[in-house]
Amino acid sequence: MKKSLLALAVLGAFAGAASAQSSVTVYGIVDLGFAHVDDGSAAGSKNGIDSGGQSASRIGFKGTEDLGNGLKALFQLEATIAADTGAAFNTATAATSGPNTGLSNNSGGFNRFATVGLQSAAFGTVLLGRQTSVIKDAYDQIDPFGDGGTVGAISSIFFNGALAGDFGRISNSVKYTSNSFSGFKANAAYGFGETVGDTGANSNYGLGLGYANGPLNVQFAYHNQDRTNAALVQTGENKLMLLGATYDFGVVKLHGAYADTKLEAPIGTEVKFRNYMIGASAPIGPGTLFASYSANDNRTVGDSDAQKFAISYSYDLSKRTNLYTGYSRTSNDNGSRIGLGGTAPLGETASIFNVGIRHKF
């Protein structure tokens, strides 16, 4: 991730003051593999080469400038790539303001990060722009499958499967992240709805608190999303709460999470969910095994729960390149339709098997 930066910093030792200004890092991931996908449709399954089996393929540009006195300026621009077809930057649905600000992959332009801000050794970091939500920041540390992938990421089932689509990334936002104090770290974010005449309409806010020290990592986060449709005189609030933890025993690292969600837009359509996840990651043989069991419990509508089991094995060819294989299976009750990052037919089971290569640059 920071190689070019490092290289140029080292270069600075030769070049003197001039190149000490150099700080654009071009980085990214290309993750491609064979995938057998059965989304539960009557038409059958699909074989292909898919992008993002372990991590979303992406390209980014970022940099840091030392301003002196413990202050740094930061920027980051990052875009998802559908590397199986090359599609990037160009989806019709651009990331705009409002309740749909947290668009998922391929939503046009630098859909993952577009930020600038300041980092202070004394006071923490403030970033403006489009960035991950506080609840995603927490989740990514707890999920055994980390930053995603089509097999493992439990964002496909938590919050009724809505994290990736609606709450993962927020445009028009400001986020504060504290420095770490004896392992404690807090963050808070606000995303403007940018609605004319009503500042609160369609805004998002989130609060997070974490403790990471030695083998223990505990993360708590809360996310609130206002949804206002002035034309229909409808309004509501979506509320998400997450508590998760990991503990590293060395031979195995255990992962667990609990979430509580209320989706309430428009008024009168309130639906409540609870989520549970237990998982493990462990060095086994020459690689690492990841596994998780997660559940979506619909507390408002009966016979509408879903369960997901995911397992994968990753083998490092280097620090930057690895091979992987994985399998996951999401089972739906008759009233649920959670698929593989999208929707499955009501009551059906969606599964995916893949084997691929991930290269970080």
Of 199-218, which residues contact its own copies (CB under 8 A)?
199
Contact residues for 24 (Cβ-Cβ < 8 A; gap 6+): 4, 61, 62, 63
Size of the site for its own copies (CB under 8 A): 99
357 contacts its own copies (rule: CB under 8 A): yes
Per-residue contact track with its own copies, 54 to 83, x per CB under 8 A?
---x-x-x-x-x-xx--x-xxx-x-x-xxx
Among 56, 102, 104, 113, binds its own copies (CB under 8 A): 113
Among 70, 86, 183, 302, binds its own copies (CB under 8 A): 86
DSSP string for 112-140: SEEEEEEEETTTEEEEEEEEE-HHHHHHH
Among 101, 312, 328, 330, binds its own copies (CB under 8 A): 101
Residues in 215-234 that interact with its own copies by CB under 8 A:
none
The least CB distance from residue 215 to its own copies, in Å, is 28
The helix or strand, by DSSP H or E, that contains position 14, with its residue range, turns out to be: helix 3-15
The least CB distance from residue 86 to its own copies, in Å, is 4
Alpha helices in 73-221 (DSSP H): 134-142, 163-166
Radius of gyration of the chain (CA): 21
326 contacts its own copies (rule: CB under 8 A): no
Tokens describing residue 333: 């009750």
What is the rounded distance in angstroms from the CA atom of residue 214 to the CA atom of residue 232?
A: 51
Among 70, 89, 216, 301, binds its own copies (CB under 8 A): 89
Per-residue contact track with its own copies, 237 to 276, x per CB under 8 A?
----------------------------------------
Question: Which CB atom, from 16 or from 268, has the smaller least distance to its own copies?
Answer: 16
User: Are 216 and 227 a contacting pair, CB within 8 Å?
Assistant: no
Among 55, 104, 115, 133, binds its own copies (CB under 8 A): 115
Nearest Cα residue to 30 out of 86, 113, 106: 86
Tokens describing residue 48: 């292909």
Per-residue contact track with its own copies, 10 to 29, x per CB under 8 A?
xxx-xx--xx-xxxx-xxx-
Among 130, 136, 227, 255, binds its own copies (CB under 8 A): 130
User: Are 293 and 309 a contacting pair, CB within 8 Å?
Assistant: yes
142 contacts its own copies (rule: CB under 8 A): no
Question: Which CB atom, from 90 or from 300, has the smaller least distance to its own copies?
Answer: 90
Burial annotation 284-302 (CB, 10 A radius, 16+ → b, else e): eeebbbbbbebbbbbeeee
